[in-house]
Amino acid sequence: MNRLCHWTVPADHPAFAGHFPGMPILPGVVLLDIALQAIADANSIALDSCEIGSVKFLSPAAPRTNC
């Protein structure tokens, strides 16, 4: 079963403020939190029964800038 979840990171997300000045990157812990919440919601399970064994981030999540 494949499910798709789309979440747009708001450019003013508070995590960008300290990671990293001049080149903001969304911390992995924020991405994992959103992923776990989406998995739990999609499967009607409690977050405390979710676990991520390993993760590999392929690229940084940065705020979008207007061109």
pLDDT confidence of residue 17 = 81
pLDDT digits (tens, 9 = 90+) for 4-63: 878 888 888 888 887 777 888 888 998 899 888 888 888 888 888 777 889 999 998 887
Supply the pTM of this predicted model.
Answer: 0.73
Question: How far, rounded to the nearest angstrom, does the alpha carbon of residue 60 sit from its chain's CA centroid?
Answer: 11
| Residues 54, 16 contacting (CB under 8 angstroms) | no
Burial of residue 56 (CB within 10 Å: 0-12, 13-18, 19+) is exposed
Identify which has the larger pLDDT, 30 or 2: 30
**Euclidean distance between CA atoms 35 and 61, whole angstroms:** 14
User: Residue 18 has what pLDDT?
Assistant: 77
